[in-house]
Amino acid sequence: MDETISRSEQKRRFKRIEDVAEELAELTDKDLKKFPGERVIWEEIKSIRGLSGGARKRQVKHLAKILRQGLELDAVYDFLSKRKGSQLKEKTQLHEAEHLRDALINEAMEDFQHCRSMQIDWEPDWKSALLGPAVAKYQRLDEDALRKTVYQYVKSHNRLYYRELFRMVKAAIDQFEMNRRARAAENGD
């Protein structure tokens, strides 16, 4: 899904990764033995332990930068939720659902405005760059139901459709995550 991410959304995503880094900095040696991350992350976590104040904040930000550099965070999220009862993965899924809902609505609104300016009727089968990849990634999403709900929201601005769209997207993301965890458990990860 190639959509433009605003600077504010990028900052929010960086902050969430920084929260992960903060939780990782609190791991004990016993926890680190079972940590699924790379050796570089271990060493960074150990270097943070003796620091306080501004130096600690800088090192946590550095650890977050390392985590952002192409590392797959699903295993880290799973580890933190198992070891510490972390809710970071659930928060990330919630934000992902909100972002996808808003991106779909914004795309539809833009197409609606375009049709309006051209003085043609706007139909529920508008061209969408986001819908196809979202349905491909989250198989539980029903494209027709999504289109219908987005269409109804754009036409009426009724918050009922806004909430329903969020529920649909969130359920699909939750199902995707459950399937991912099941596959990871089968593979012994």
CATH number at residue 66: 1.10.60
Same domain, 96 and 78: no
Evaluate if residue 71 carries a pLDDT over 80: no
The C-alpha atoms of residue 24 and residue 22 are separated, in whole angstroms, by 5
For 26, 28, 67, 81, 187, the CA distances from 84, given in Å and listed in that order, are 10, 11, 19, 6, 23
CB 182 within 8 A of CB 121: no
Same domain, 95 and 72: no
What token pair was written down for 20? 């992960």
Which pLDDT band holds residue 68 (cuts at 50, 70, 90)? confident
Residue 2 belongs to some domain of the structure: no
Better-scored residue on pLDDT, 143 or 39:
143
Of 60, 85, 110, the domain-final residue: 85
Count of the separate structural domains present in the chain: 2
Evaluate if residue 1 carries a pLDDT over 50: no
Residue 1 belongs to some domain of the structure: no
Predicted pLDDT at 16: 85
Average pLDDT over residues 17-45: 83
Which pLDDT band holds residue 150 (cuts at 50, 70, 90)? very high
As a whole number of Å, the end-to-end CA separation of the chain is 27
Predicted pLDDT at 72: 73
Mean pLDDT computed over every residue of the chain: 86
Predicted pLDDT at 189: 55
Of 62, 85, 108, the domain-final residue: 85
Average pLDDT over residues 80-102: 83
Better-scored residue on pLDDT, 131 or 1:
131
